């Protein structure tokens, strides 16, 4: 990738909160096709099982901060809290009494969606950041900031 230094300099020239918002919007735009493809593979009816979010659930391991303090995730929504069980499957499960209650075979949705798009995300992110920075600078110039 070329031109990332220019992007970093342009982001540094903006106020910190503004630069975070620019990065967040760009990441969301680039990650949305991954969520859309995973939703297309979802065996549920009309559920949107996967979405792009800036947060993980409080019960999940929390990520460390990135350079600009922005992290985005593609993960399951409230509509499908069990999506991870279908994604990776489960081992055979038994009650305390010994009764067998089944196992779930893996049905990957998010993994193939990520594998399909991961190479395009970095180049797309650079273009999205450039466009978002230009739009932000233009808006700020109109406001006289």
Sketch the domain layout of the chain as residue ranges.
Answer: 4-95+112-143
Model's pTM, two decimal places? 0.78
Residue 76: beta bridge partners? 50
Helix H or strand E segment including 97: none
Per-residue pLDDT of the chain (145 residues; tens, 9 = 90+): 566 788 888 998 999 889 999 999 999 999 999 999 999 988 876 668 889 988 776 666 666 665 557 888 888 888 888 888 889 999 999 999 999 999 999 999 999 999 999 889 887 898 999 999 999 999 999 988 7
Backbone angles phi, psi at 18, to 5 degrees: -70, -45
């Amino acid at each position: 990738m070329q031109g990332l230094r220019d992007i970093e300099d342009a982001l540094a020239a903006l106020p910190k909160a503004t630069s975070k918002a620019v990065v967040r919007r760009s990441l969301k735009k680039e990650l949305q096709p991954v969520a859309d493809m995973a939703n297309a593979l979802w065996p549920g009816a009309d559920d949107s099982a996967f979405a792009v979010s800036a947060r993980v659930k409080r019960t999940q391991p929390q990520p460390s901060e990135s350079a600009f303090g922005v992290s985005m995730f593609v993960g399951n929504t409230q509509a499908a809290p069990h999506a991870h069980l279908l994604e990776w499957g489960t081992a055979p499960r038994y009650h305390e009494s010994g009764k067998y209650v089944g196992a779930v075979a893996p049905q990957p949705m998010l993994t193939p969606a990520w594998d399909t798009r991961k190479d395009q995300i970095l180049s797309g992110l650079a273009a999205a950041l450039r466009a978002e920075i230009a739009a932000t600078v233009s808006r700020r110039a109109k406001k006289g900031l």
